[in-house]
Structures are given as C-alpha cells and as structure tokens.
Amino acid sequence: VSIDEQEILQEFVVEATEHLADVESQLLAIEAGGADVDAELVNQVFRAVHSVKGAAGFLQLDDINRLAHSLENVLNRIRNRELVPQSRHTDVMLRGADLLRIMISRLPQPSGVDVTDLRTELDRIADGAEVPEERPTFEALGELHAPQAELEPPFVPADVPPAAERADAALRPGAPEGAAAAVAHDANIRVSVAVLDRLMNLAGELVLSRNQLLQAIGTPDQSGLETAASELDHVTSELQEAIMQTRMQPIGNTLGRFPRVVRDLSAKLGKQVDLQMEGKEVEVDKSIVEAIGDPLTHLVRNAVDHGIESPAVRQAAGKRPQGVIRLRAYHQAGKVLVEITDDGAGIDPEKLKRKALEKGVIAAEHAQRLTDREALRLIFHPGFSTAEQVSDVSGRGVGMDVVRSNIERLGGTVDVESQIGAGTTIRVSLPLTLAIIPSMIVRCRQQRFAIPQSNIAELVRLRPAEARQRLGMVKSGEVLRLRGSLLPLVRLGRVLQFEEPATAHDDGPVHVIVVESGSVRYGLLVDGISDSEEIVVKPLGRHFKGCGYLAGATILGDGRVALILDVGGVAARADFQGASGDEEATDPTTQGEQGRTERQTLLVFRSDPADQFAVPMEVVSRIERVKADALERVGGRELLMYHGEPLPLIAVEDGLPVRPRPQTDHVHVIVFATSHREIGLVAPELADIREIEATIDSETFRARGVAGALAIDDRLTRLLDVFALAEAIHPQWFEQLPASPPTETPRRILLAEDSHFFRTQVAGFLTSAGFEVDEAGDGQEAWETLLEDAALYCLVVSDIEMPRMNGYELCERIKRHAATASLPVIALTSLSSDEHMRRGREAGFDDYQIKMHRDNLLEAVRRLAAGKAAGGRRGGQAVRRQEASV
Amino acid sequence: MTTMCDAATGRQELQLATFRAGDWTLAIAIDQVQEINRRIEATFVPHAPPSVRGVMNLRGEVVTVIDLRTALGLGPAEATRHSRNVVVNVGGELVGLWVDQMGDILKIDPSAIAPPPPHLAAVDRRFVAGVYATDDDLVLLLNVEHAVGVA
C-alpha cells in the first residue's frame, strides 16, 4: 500500500467512523417512533450509510460496500413508509452497523468477518420476504442475540496497540485494555477553529513576552524585568488553559452507547426500561471520556440487571411496569459528577451486612457498628456481588470494586445512595482533567517522589521516642499503631532497594504517609515530606514497563524529574497484602471504652446536604456571613478579603473525602485562631448551635481533621478538629511552630481526663508537639501516679469533671503537697463560665484552657513547661503565690 | 536512514555522527540524532534495567538516558568532561545515549559499509549494523534499536 493510499484509507476510516457514530442512537430513536416514522431521522441514517457505501466502493472495500448497500435498501423501505421497523428489524440493522464499524476499525487489515449471512437477512427484510413475525418469546430473543455474541470478540481487535503504549495510559498502568481498544482513530482530536485561533493569538503573545524579557535582561539595570515576567506568567497560564480546552470533549461521546446497552439488556432480561440522559454536552478531558466508558457501562448494566425489577414485580409493588434509569452529568465545583439513578428495588443494607458477614468480608462486631450508608458502601468491597445468583450479565468477574478502583485511578470517587423500594443512585465524581494532579512531594534518601493527593489519607509525623512506641512488628511485617489500629507499614527506601541511610534513623522525626488505593491501605515510611505541588504527568519510556510501582514522571519546579509513585504498585513490590480499611487489626493495647458522654456546645453546619459537621463552639472566634463571590481563589487557595486583610480559608472538602459544597449565594465563614493567624472554615449552611451530651465515637471516622463522630437529631455528624484539618490541608501554615528546644528535664506531661475521646485527642496534640504523655482516667489515678514519682513530670493537664476525684480537688492537692507544689497545672475543660473560672483560680490552676483549642492549649503547655524547666525560681514563686491564695 | 545524493558526482552520501564508548568508535546516521548535550544530571529509577542511567527533563519531555557502555556490555561509563548525551529518536521515543566522547561527522558512501566481521567479539554482533573502515580506525555502525533494547 503506497503512502498516498494509506492516507486516503486513513481519511476514510476517520470519516466513516464519524458517519456511523450516531447511527446506533438514530436507529433506536426510529424504532421508538414506531409507525410514526420521522422521515428526517431516517434520511440522516440513510445518508450516513450511503456515504460509507460510496467511499468503500471507490476504495474497493467490497465487503463494506455490499453490507452498506444492503443496509441502505432496508432504510430506503422505511423511508418510503413501506416498512414499519419492529424490534427484530432494528436488531438486524444494529448488527449491520456494528459490523460496518468493526470492519472499518480494522482497516487496512481485512476484517475476516463474513457478511453473507447478515446481508441475506437484510436483503430479506428489504424484499419484504421475511418470515411472518412470531411472538418474541424469551428464548427467541435469546437466539436473536446469539449471533451477536459471536461477534463480540472483534470488539477488541488484537492489532490495536496495548494500553501501556499509549501516552495517556501511562498514568494508569493497570487500566483495562477495553478503553484503549475503543476506536482506532482516537489518536486524532477535533479542535474548533475558534480555539485554534485563540492558541495562535496566545502563541503570538508568548513571542512578544519573550522579546520583552530578552530586552529587559539586556538593559543595564534590568528595568522592566518584572513587567515582562508577569506578562509571561499571564500568557503561560492562558496558553495552558487554552491547550487544555482542546482536550475537552463532551461526555456524550461515551454516554452515547448506553441506549443500546439498556435496550439490548432489558430485552434480554424481559424488563422494561426507559433511559433518560441529561448533560451529554458536559465537557471533560479526552482521556477521561475514554477511560470512564467501561466503569459507567458496568454501572448502567448493574442498574438494569439488579436495580430495575421485572414488570410483574414492579406492578405488584404499585409501580409503573416500565422502570426509569436516569443518567445525569453535570459540573460541580471543578469536578464532573455523573449520577446513575434507577427507580428500582433499592439495596437493603441489612442484606448487605449479612452477605458481608457470610463472605467474611467484615467481622460481626464491625457489622453492628456500620451505619446504613457505610453498609451500602460494602458493594465496593472486593469480592462482593449482590446478585442472588450469578447472571451472565453482571457475573463477569468485574465487580463494583473494580469499578471503584478504576474510577479512583482516574482521581475520582464513587458513592452510593439507596432507599429500599425506591431505587438507587450511584454518584461518580471525576476530575476535569487527568493531566494535572495535586500531589505531595516526598523525599527518600536524596531523591524526590510524587504521590497523588487522591491516594493520601493522612500524614503522620512521629517523634523518635514516639516512633519506638508506635512502630512494631507483627508476624514478619512492620506495622504502625494508629488510633488503636495496626496499619501495615512499608519503608519506601526498602521497596526501592536504596541503601540504608548511613546515619542512625532514630535521631529525627519519622514521616509516615497513610495511603489508600482501591482496597489497599498502608503506611508508607519516607525520609521527609517536601511540599504539595500540582504536577503535570509525563509518560515514562518503554524501558520502565517492569516498574509497576511507578505511575509516570513529572518535572518539578527546579527542572528535575521526579517519579510518581503508584500506591498499589508499591504495595505489590513490597509483597504484602495491605489490609483494607475494614479489616484493619485492632491494637489490643488500646482497646476498651470507645466513647464517653461529654457535654459540649457545638456549632453544627452542613456542606453538601448529606454531610453534617460540628465544631466545638469554644474554638470559634466569630462567624461571618459573606457573599459567595467574595471568596477569591489565589494560587489554588481560597481566601476572603476581610477588613483589608486576607483571611485564608479552608473547606471540609479540601481535607476530607466529602462531596464539594453546593453553589450558594452566601456562605458562612467560621473564623478560628491558631497561635499565628486566623483561619476561616467555609460552612455553606449553618444548622444549629447545640449544647449536647452525646457519645462521641472516635474510631469509625478516622481521618485527619475529624475528631470523632456523633449523632445529632439522628444524623451522623462529624466533629471536626479544625486545627488538624487546617494542618492537613495547608501543612506549611504550621511549619513555623517553634521546635521544642532540647532539654534535659523530662518533658513528660501527666494528663488526667475521664473521657477516652478527649484523652486521646489531647494526648495526640501533646505528643505531636514533642511531649511524652502519661494518661490517667480520673483525678484519683492521676494523684496516685504523682505520688509514685512526681519528679517525672513537668506539667499536669487536668479535666475538671471527673469521677472519684475532680479537677479542682486534684489541683488543690497538688498545690498543697510539698513534692508536687511546684508543678504547674492546666485546667482543661469545655466549661467556660465565669463561675468555673473563679473556682479554678481558687483551686490554684496556673492556666485554664479549652479542650479542643489545640493551639492555645499547646502555647500554654509550652509556656508553663518551659518555666518549669528553667529552674525552681519561677516555680517557687508560683508556689508561694498559690500558698497565699489557698 | 536516508542517504543524500551528491549532485556533482551523482554518488550517494551518508552522514554519520561518531562517538566513543569504551575502546570503540561507534556511529549512527546523523538524521537519527535529535540533539547532543552535556547534561549529566539524571533521576535514578530503581528497578529499571541496568543499562538505564535514569530519566532527564528535555524541555518538558521525560527522556530515558541509556548508559551505552553498559548496554553494549563494556562496563559502566564514568562521567567526565567529555561525556555527552546523544539524544536519538528510536521508534518515536526520544532516548539519550550516554557516550564517553563525541567524534567527527563522517560523510561516506553507503556502499563502503561492510557487514560486521565474524571476529568482532568485544561487542555483541546484534548491536552492529555494519562496519566502516577509515584510514586509522574501524567505525561500528550502531543498530540503535537493538542497543537500547527496544527492538
């Protein structure tokens, strides 16, 4: 084949594929129209097939030409109203269109498909010589579909390049081949002339900026350098945006296949389904449009197979016999959401729990703790299928866990909502583009690596002393003790076979990144954490096919290349099976009471209507209500200009895996103060301020920034630790905290607190600030501990309300007893009335702090501990003062 | 590999870029060379094949750098002030070849290229597409695809 011929052939493939792209949906629409034939629609299909026929004839592609011709004849009869297309006619025509597409996609290779039978069928229909219609029984339908099943293999032609060789596939080495094998011409992209013109303009601007820059550098005082640089900055951003625009495609390109999927499948299952689609025009990056096809298809098939009931069942339940599946795509807060809603039977969470128990997916005690929502999420658990029996529709070995991991690989999330009897909604959230992903840059020995933020659950920094306590061995594997659980630990340096560092590793803090991917969850130990950066993913060359632990590479700000880690691949390299979140072993040493009641005044707010959060009132400085458009986004961060000062903002969705907040006209900003600055937390909808006495569960919703969960008005509410949340989102805001100075005095604090929840929280604050903490469950226990060896401690932090001995009494005893009189005592409370303050002063407390106000508490602790360490002089004075007051 | 036709003589002409790796003088057709630079920094990639020196940033592309001496079984190269990175286009992918030193550009008659002699023991014959004898040296024409291990 000469080069010219090849080019012409290539053109034909592109053009014919375009012609045929809409034929399927148009045929379905014609069928739906029944006797009332839409002539224009039939004409469109006719013209498309006719063009393909003509070009194929010219290129001497005889099979394609003849098949198109037969198809055209049938269409002609429909056009002339000589034939009202029945379902079986449409079937044959659809198969014809399928076959044309397959043959065309395989060019220039011969397709190896025999078109004779199908042509005979088409010709029979065209001649009106077909056998009279039988009642389409279920078996008959099955037969009708049989030939199509035989055709299925060519959908994945062997000669399509494997996924790994495609540039954008480098990001997801394990991606199913299906996405890559979709169409042969997807290496091309159509760009509107307007976008191209804009690119040209910007390229011109870029040249101008470069010239300005060169000129500015040339002048002796380098004047104008700043202007030129800012101009360049501006043009570059715009150019990047414009280029990204060229990659955007309507998601409808993928949704287009669903009418056929639903039609064929519902016919096969004897169900009646009406598919409604909305938002086909929503634009997403090309690579995402391609990659999302398979997971969405699976979800749609599931909705038909498991969601919608058979007509009889529906009627018995008082529903219309025809079920409805709604597919809706829309933009929200910089993401694309695709919802698949059915009005079917819904999912029974109790049934799921039972199944999960049977299959050993979860433990019995765990099952009891699960909320309905969590139980529903079990469907995403590996090895979990809800079908009562394995049908050939969904029992294809591809479960929802694969759907989830494929979506997560794209940087998206998937969630499920369901109501028994009313239906199920699966919500898929996708990033707009794959090319740029927010990442954390970590260090291992001398090298830097990037980890996508979507894989990071939290960062854990351990002081050397703490590390010795919290890192341990279980069987042959290393583990990290994290809030009562044992998390498998992987040392990145070992996985990469780097040499062990020359210096002993117990002289600095230990950094562990808790990462998740699909069902894998583990702690990744790195040498250091550098920064978070938005990185552009670059594919790696073919020499690195064996490096499954890599997801690609990126170029950092200094021009050097950093490798992007594939969290699942690293786990595979480390040769361990990371426990999934549900199966994490529980650390026996910290097991016990899970929560205690505690009176708290909470500010309750909602982000997405489904997500309710609470913040302890004590940490709130003030609340502002502002117009949503007053929030500015600068360099990827949100801020609010407040009295001429920028107030940095955080939002729950920045740090927690929750849905982005809905667009509203006004938002509330909850302002709280760290020791360095004020920070605003965006609260879209304030619900209430409540004084509640609730059990706080600190185990189930473990995430950085979440102190625990509780029920308010029967709604699950997450209690936020706003400081930890802010630190998780913007660690750099907290870095300038003064490192605790080395000191010979024991920096050990005795913490008396009866609530397990608060004890863990406060102990966490203190240990992360570099103190060692001993915990006591009440005043009596604390007092006994002090009697044993008071010299161990530099400070006592005590709750007020405790059984056996309360905080006032403990403090009074400490201040009266000679051995302990010089110990500073901080009262820790959620009670902040004047009366309490007065009693506290009387009892001799050196300071009075609110439990959840981490920053103020730490400041007081540092101040008093330093005073104590500095020597007895100040302590002595304090004692005298206390004695005077007693 | 394209050849150029010398208008004056009517003879075919092939331009070769030559370089040293170990004791050998090697050559590739000049139109396969994208650029030659002296960038020595490369990001090490753990678990990559031994001949891979690392990856580097070439104006926004991440390019694999191959230590040619290791690839040819001549022992690892050292970075000296003569070391160069020859960026070649291999099957659509840019690959850097880390060589000891650049040599001259040769203009030769393609018909003067001989098949590799049977006694060529030091270098695997698969890596050699042919040999060309100059007045004082034997130049091995590199089969780049085989040498970088992508064939």
- Per-residue pLDDT of A708-757, as tens digits, reads 777 777 677 888 888 888 877 877 776 554 444 444 445 788 988 887 77
Interface test with B, best of A441, A491, A543, A573 (most B CBs within 10 A): A543
Which chain B residues touch A494 with a CB distance below 8 Å?
none
pLDDT at A150 over 50: no
Which chain B positions have a beta carbon within 8 Å of A540's beta carbon?
A: 45, 55, 62, 64
Question: Which of A496, A542, A561 has the CB atom closest to B55's CB atom?
Answer: A561
pLDDT-based confidence at residue A339 (cuts at 50, 70, 90): very high
Chain B contact for A449 (CB, 8 A cutoff): no
- Residues of chain A contacting B56 with CB distance shorter than 8 Å: 561
Residue predicted with more confidence, A880 or A372: A372
Least confident of A280-289, A320-329, A841-850: A841-850
pLDDT greater at residue A646 or residue A513: A513
A538 touches chain B (CB under 8 A): yes
Q: Which residue in B40, B41, B43 has the most chain A C-beta atoms within 10 A of its own C-beta, making it the best mutation to test that interface?
A: B43
Q: Which token pair is A609?
A: 């209507």
Distance CA A526, CA A516 (A): 16
Nearest CA-CA distance, residue A1 and chain B, Å: 21
Q: Which of A101-115, A222-236, B30-44 is least confident?
A: A101-115
Band (pLDDT 50/70/90 cuts) for residue A333 is low
Is the model's pLDDT at A309 over the cut of 70?
yes
Residue A852 has pLDDT above 80, yes or no: no
Q: Predicted confidence band at A168 (pLDDT cuts at 50, 70, 90)?
A: very low
Least confident among A349-353, B62-66, B101-105: A349-353
Q: Is the pLDDT of residue A420 over 80?
A: yes
Which one of A447, A540, A560 has the shortest CB-CB distance to B57? A560
**Residue A171 — very low, low, confident or very high, per pLDDT cuts 50/70/90?**
very low
Buried b / exposed e over A533-572, threshold 16 CB at 10 Å, is bebebbbbbbbbeebbbbbbbbbbeeebbbbbbbbbbbbb
Predicted local confidence at residue B86, as pLDDT: 93
Does residue A159 have a pLDDT over 60? no
Residue pointed to by tokens 């229909």: A125
Q: Is A563 on the interface with B (CB under 8 A)?
A: yes
Minimum-distance CB partner of A561 among B56, B66, B149: B56
Q: Give the residue from chain A lying closest to B40, CA to CA.
A: A560
Q: What is the pLDDT of residue A701?
A: 64
Contacts of B52 in chain A (CB under 8 A): 543-544
Residue A199 pLDDT: 92
Rounded Cα distance between A442 and A672, Å, is 30
Rank A82-91, A843-852, B68-77 by mean pLDDT and report only the highest: B68-77
Confidence of residue B5 (pLDDT cuts 50, 70, 90): low
Any B CB within 8 A of A542 CB: yes
Contact at CB, A561 and B49, closer than 8 angstroms: no
Contact by Cβ (8 Å): B32, B127: no
A560 touches chain B (CB under 8 A): yes
Highest mean pLDDT among A139-143, A287-291, B31-35: B31-35
Contacts of B58 in chain A (CB under 8 A): none
Say yes or no for a CB contact (<8 Å) between B48 and A544. yes
Nearest to B47 among A538, A542, A547 (CB): A547
Chain B positions with Cβ closer than 8 Å to A:
41-49, 52, 54-57, 60-64, 66, 93, 95, 148-150
Say yes or no to pLDDT of A787 above 90: no
Task: Report pTM.
Answer: 0.44
Asked whether the predicted pLDDT for residue A587 surpasses 60, the reply is: no
pLDDT score at A581:
38
Reported confidence tier of residue A831, pLDDT bands at 50, 70, 90? low
Looking at residue B3, its pLDDT comes to 52
Minimal C-alpha gap between A247 and chain B (Å): 18
Nearest partner of B102 among B122, B87, B91, judged by Cα: B87
User: What's the pLDDT at B4?
Assistant: 52
Residue A51 has pLDDT above 70, yes or no: yes
Cβ-Cβ contacts under 8 Å, B150 against chain A:
542-543
At residue A526 the predicted structure's pLDDT band, cuts being 50, 70 and 90, is: very high
Contact B43 A550 (CB under 8 A): no
- Find the helix or strand (DSSP H, E) in which A861 lies: helix A854-869
Please name the member of A539, A543, A554 whose beta carbon is closest to the beta carbon of B52. A543
Q: What is the pLDDT of residue B134?
A: 85
Spatial contact of B63 and B96, defined as CB atoms under 8 Å apart: yes
Kindly report the nearest CA distance between residue B151 and chain A, in angstroms: 11
A520, A571 Cβ separation under 8 angstroms: yes
Q: Nearest CA to CA, how far is A262 from chain B (Å)? A: 41
- pLDDT recorded at residue A812: 86
Residue A292 confidence (pLDDT) = 86
Q: Report the residue of B37, B39, B55 to disrupt the A interface, i.e. the one with the largest count of A CBs within 10 Å.
A: B55
Contact between A691 and A578 under an 8 Å Cβ cutoff? The reply is no
Answer whether A9 touches B (CB < 8 Å). Answer: no
Q: For residue range A57-78, what is the model confidence (pLDDT) as tens digits?
A: 777 788 888 888 888 888 888 8
Looking at chain A, which residue has its C-alpha nearest residue B151? Answer: A542
| A542/B93 CB distance under 8 A | yes
Residue B34's SS3 state is: strand
- Can you read off the two tokens belonging to residue A113? 């498909």
CB proximity list for A789: less than 8 A, separation 6 or greater: none
Q: What is the pLDDT of residues A449-461, one digit of tens each?
A: 999 888 888 888 8
Distance from the A213 Cα atom to the nearest Cα atom in chain B, whole angstroms: 19
Residue A162: the pLDDT is 36
**CA separation for the pair A53, A75 (Å, rounded):** 13
pLDDT at position B85: 92
A676 at the B interface (CB within 8 A)? no
Q: A with B: how many residue pairs have Cβ under 8 Å apart?
A: 67
Mean pLDDT of A399-421: 80
Rounded to the nearest integer, the mean pLDDT of chain A is 75
Q: How far is A478 from chain B (nearest CA, A)?
A: 22
Do residues A764 and A470 touch, judged by C-beta distance below 8 A? no
Specify the long-range contacts of residues A847-850, CB closer than 8 Å, at least 24 apart. A850/A616, A850/A618, A850/A619
Question: What is the pLDDT averaged over residues A148-165?
Answer: 36
Instruction: Round to whole Å and give the CA distance between A406 and A415.
Output: 13
Residue A240 distance to chain B (closest CA, Å) = 13
Closest chain A CA to residue B53: A543
CA distance A378 to A187: 38
Across B33-50, b (16+ Cβ under 10 Å) vs e yields beebeeeeebbbbbebbe
Q: What percent of chain A has pLDDT above 70? A: 79
Chain B positions in Cβ-Cβ contact with residue A554 (cut-off 8 Å): 62
Partners of residue B63 in chain A, C-beta under 8 Å: 541
- The C-alpha R_g of chain B, in whole angstroms, comes to 15
Burial of B123 (0-12, 13-18, 19+ CB in 10 A): buried
| Residue pLDDT, tens place only, A604-615 | 888 777 778 888
Is pLDDT at B144 greater than 80 in this prediction? Answer: yes
Contact A555 B47 (CB under 8 A): no
pLDDT at A137: 40
On the question of a cis peptide bond just before residue A108, with omega within 30 degrees of 0, the verdict is yes
Report which DSSP code applies to B31.
G
